[in-house]
Amino acid sequence: MKALAKNPNFRSTSLSSLKSVENCLSSMSIERSALGRIFDMYPQLLNSDPYSDLYPIFDFLLNDVHIPFPDIRKSIIRCPRLLICSAEILLVSSVEGTLMPKLDYLMSLGLEYEEVVNMVLRSPGLLTFSIENNYRPKVEYFLNEMNGDEMLRFSDGEFNARLVEMRLRLVVEAQL
C-alpha cells in the first residue's frame, strides 16, 4: 500500500519490468533482502528502466568514481539515494572539478588515500558535502574548539558528557 501511495505508476508496472529491476540490482550483488528497504525508501525505482535509469549510474560509480565492483553493493545499501539520481545530475560536477578536490582536502588533513576511500565507501554521502560549507567549518571546530581531542573514539554517551564538560569550561573561563 505504501508503494502505491508514493508511486501511483506502480499499479501499471508489469511483472517483467519489476523482475528486470530486481535482476539489475542483483547483478550489482545487492541481495533481495536489501531490496525491500531500498524500494520502501524510493518506490519509484519499482517502475524504472534499468538500461536508461540504473545501469548509467552503476557505470558512473564504477568507471568515473572508481568504486571497486565489490564495494558498489555497500555504497548503494548505505546510500540508496544514488539510485534515483540521474547520471546527468551525477555528472554535473566533474570528477576532477568536484570529487577529487574533496578527496584531496581529506588527504590534506593527514589521512591516507586508503583511509579516505574507506570513509567514502562507508558513507558515500561524504562526496555530497561542500569543502567550504561542511568540511572546513567542522575541521576548524574540531581543531580550535575541541583542541583536536580525539573524542571520536568514545561512545555517544561519553562524547556528550565530554562535550557538555568542555562547554561548561568555556562558559566559566569566559566569565573570569
Question: Is residue 66 domain-resident?
Answer: yes
pLDDT number for residue 171 = 81
Average pLDDT, the chain: 81
CA 123 to chain centre: 5
Q: What DSSP assignment string belongs to 22-47? A: HHHHHHTT--HHHHHHHHHH-GGGGG
- Judged against a pLDDT cut of 60, whether residue 4 lies above it is answered with no
Grid cell listed for 46: 519499482
**Mean pLDDT on 135-150:** 80
Assigned domain for 116 exists: no
Say whether pLDDT at 13 is over 80.
Answer: no
**Residue 105 counted as domain residue:** no
**Could you give the number of structural domains in the chain?**
1
| Nearest CA among 109, 67, 112, 71 for reference residue 90 | 67
Total length of the chain: 176
- Whether this prediction's pTM lies above 0.95 is answered by no
Tell me phi and psi for residue 130, to 5 degrees.
-85, 140
Q: What angle do CA 143, 146, 144 make, to 5 degrees?
A: 40
For residue 145, being part of any structural domain is answered with: no
Provide the pLDDT for residue 11.
63
The 10s digit of each residue's pLDDT in 53-107 is 899 889 988 888 788 898 899 889 988 888 987 655 655 556 677 788 888 898 8
In this prediction, residue 30 carries a pLDDT of 93
Residue 66, domain extent? 1-91
pLDDT given for residue 86 in this prediction: 64
Residue whose C-alpha is closest to residue 84's, from 15, 175, 7: 7
Residue 85 inside a domain? The answer is yes
